[in-house]
Structure 1
Amino acid sequence: AQYPNGGWPQNWPLEGGFHDSITFNDNAVANAAMVLRDVAQGTEGFDFVPADLEARAAEAVKKAIDVTLAAQVRKGDQLQGWPQQVEPMRLVPTSARNYEPRSIASGETTDVLEFLMAEPNPSPEVKRAIRGAVAWLESVRVYDKSFEMTDDGRKLIDKPGAGPIWSRNYDLVTGQPIFGDKDQTIHDDVNGISIGRRNGYSWWIGSPQRALDAYAAWSAANP
């Protein structure tokens, strides 16, 4: 199922549409690569794997890391985060469901960072990717806001002392939060989308803090 460039689609066998995109959403690439990393290293439970398959697994992991680095969004010479998915050939961000526009995605960036920070003996390229993505997450976090249920559905509201939280998606050009609706419209205010979509999706999240917390220890070990 792995593409020659190292990525994995959302589904296998291929079925067309956005399912064929290289998918960072739901940890598709990272989970596959982490299993293969365990195989390559003969981790407990995989110590029965013969040496030739360990070598093949190690090569698959290397290719997965390479394509992950290539898919990282850049603005000029500044590395930022990762999209939910990229086109398999051009490795550019692409959309998925109607309400999932092309974007830099904070949740997927978190997942990719956790995968890359678990890499033993990271290369200079991996280190640069991690540092760039962490700096981007730090630059877009929001305080004193909360995305929570109100009498009019889930909304982003003022809440002193709350946060940090991150928008799920950021515009590739402006870097500002964006929110998709089921009719494929894109909004700059989550409170402006339909109540069904507001209630049915995690538009603002706190999980990127996990990556920032893990980065503190990783950075100390990787000066």
Structure 2
Amino acid sequence: MKKTTLSLALAITMILSVPAVVLHPSSTVVAADASGTTASISDILKNQQQDGGWKKDYAVTSGEWAKSTIDNKATYSEIRRLASEYKKTKDSKYSAAAVKGIHFLINMQYSNGGWPQVYQSSGYHKHITYNDDAMINVMILLDEVANKKGDFSFVDSSLASKSKQAVDKGVGCILNTQVVVNGKLTAWGQQHDSSTLKPAGARVYEVPSLSASESTTIVKFLKTRTANTKITASIKAAEDWFKAVQITGIKVVKENGDVVVVKDSSAKTPIWARLYEIGTNKPIFVGRDGVVKYNLSEIEKERRTGYAWYGSWPANVLK
């Protein structure tokens, strides 16, 4: 496998428009992006924290979300925008802030190669976070820095080298967190415990499980790495798992402000559940009571309509 550069677009879960009646399985409910995706460059500069990162919401002043984070595109978006601004203006205040942000991402990384959702945090924010492609998007950025690609041609060789080391450690973490069931590699959870490396829960409706969505983006990134025995085995195992858990014969329909699953023998194109039970590979659905259900209809309407429970995520990697 040749090493190629993964564009940022590949790392972001595909979001397609939703028809009036039938929901395309890739449709998803997206949380608000971090402030840095739309803030002015001057506000980005003003809101860079002492550690070099950024908050998700610039207006928050206390609690966990007042800490630097990679959730909802925070920090890596600011770094990208600053690097772009430096390329346009050659004003060193932008490159200096971007470099400080890159150093933050490197410092944020655990010794095992993973990244938490929130820096120096508690609870589930400490977990290695693949959820919403947070860790992979950080690795994509650092890979560009390592290779001085695009807007990062200005970085020095020392920072490029440190970024490469961080990416290599991240790949090691990915390989070490791939879940083994009955001696067989499968896929990844949305988040993994930073000590045990096992899948871990986050929000009450995000229980320890295997995720078709986040695992897809992980596989896409692994396919950009120089092939070796472990990477090749990891990709094949994940693709085999995608094939084993794909679902046909149903369609996901929006009606009367609700989302329902309807049997449809003509539905030949496979879709996937967002979450699968570890060991059984059964699709699972969880409401705000935290109780695992095996049918979407069994959880409350607010969660049925407020989360991407089905999608076509792996279709691209299986082509």
Amino acid at match of 2:126: D
- Over the matched positions of the two proteins, sequence identity in percent amounts to 32
In 2, the alpha carbon distance for the partners of 1:182 and 1:75 equals 28
In 2, the alpha carbon distance for the partners of 1:27 and 1:152 equals 28
Partner-residue secondary structure (3-state), 1:211: coil
Q: CA deviation at 1:70?
A: 0.6
Amino acid at match of 2:169: K
Q: CA deviation at 1:57?
A: 0.8
Q: CA deviation at 1:191?
A: 1.3
**Pair 1:197-2:303 in alignment:** yes
2:314 to 195, 208, 215: 208
Range that drifts further, 176-185 or 143-152 = 143-152
Question: What does residue 278 of structure 2 align with?
Answer: 172
Q: CA deviation at 1:173?
A: 2.2
Report the CA distance shift for 1:52/1:39 in structure 2 as closer, same or farther (over 3 A).
Answer: same
Question: What does residue 216 of structure 1 align with?
Answer: none
Provide Cα deviations, 1:14-51, integer angstroms capped at 9, x if missing partner.
Answer: 33111110000111111111111111112122222211
Q: Which has the higher strand share?
A: 1
Question: What does residue 139 of structure 1 align with?
Answer: 244
In 2, the alpha carbon distance for the partners of 1:144 and 1:174 equals 20
**Pair 1:156-2:265 in alignment:** no
Q: TM-score, normalised by structure 2?
A: 0.64
Provide Cα deviations, 1:101-149, integer angstroms capped at 9, x if missing partner.
Answer: 1100000111101111122x22211111000000000111111211221
In 1, the alpha carbon distance for the partners of 2:241 and 2:122 equals 32
Question: What does residue 35 of structure 1 align with?
Answer: 141
Amino acid at match of 1:178: I
Range that drifts further, 202-211 or 97-106 = 202-211
Partner-residue secondary structure (3-state), 1:45: helix
In 1, the alpha carbon distance for the partners of 2:279 and 2:265 equals 30
Amino acid at match of 1:108: E
How many residues align? The count is: 211
Q: CA deviation at 1:161?
A: 2.8
CA-based RMSD of the aligned residues comes to 1.3
Which has the larger Rg?
2
Question: What does residue 11 of structure 2 align with?
Answer: none
Question: What does residue 175 of structure 2 align with?
Answer: 69
Question: What does residue 186 of structure 2 align with?
Answer: 80
> Is there any run of 5+ residues in structure 2 with no aligned partner, and where?
1-107
